[in-house]
Amino acid sequence: MFYDSNAWPPAPGGFDPPPPPRRLDAAQERTLMRIVGVMLVVLFLGPFAGSSVVDAVVALVRVLG
């Protein structure tokens, strides 16, 4: 398929619709990034260290956090 820019003219008055509201606030985004970071560390550390080391790191994070 191709995009035909002449198919839909711009809105009257030249104004674009307002952008949609953000779905995550700053705290939720920070938490999500921490989870993604931990999963990436586990992804790369797991095959080299084994699951027992990953379990120990998770237990350490739970105690400290």
Q: What is the reported pLDDT for 9?
A: 67
Asked if residue 30 is part of any domain, the answer here is no
Q: How far apart are the C-alpha atoms of 13 and 2, rounded to whole Å?
A: 27
Evaluate whether residue 18 is within a structural domain. no
In a domain, 13, yes or no: no
Backbone angles phi, psi at 29, to 5 degrees: -65, -40
State the Cα–Cα distance between residues 59 and 45, nearest whole angstrom.
Answer: 15
By CB atoms closer than 10 A (0-12, 13-18, 19+), residue 64 is exposed
User: Is residue 9 included in any domain, yes or no?
Assistant: no
Whether 65 maps to a domain, the answer reads yes
pLDDT at 19: 80
The DSSP-derived string for 16-29 is: PPPPPPPSS-HHHH
Give the number of domains in the chain.
1
pTM score, whole prediction: 0.48
Q: What is the pLDDT along the chain (65 residues), one digit of tens a residue?
A: 676 666 676 666 667 777 888 888 999 999 999 999 988 988 887 787 777 877 888 898 899 87
Domain boundaries, position 40: 35-65
Is 40 domain-assigned?
yes
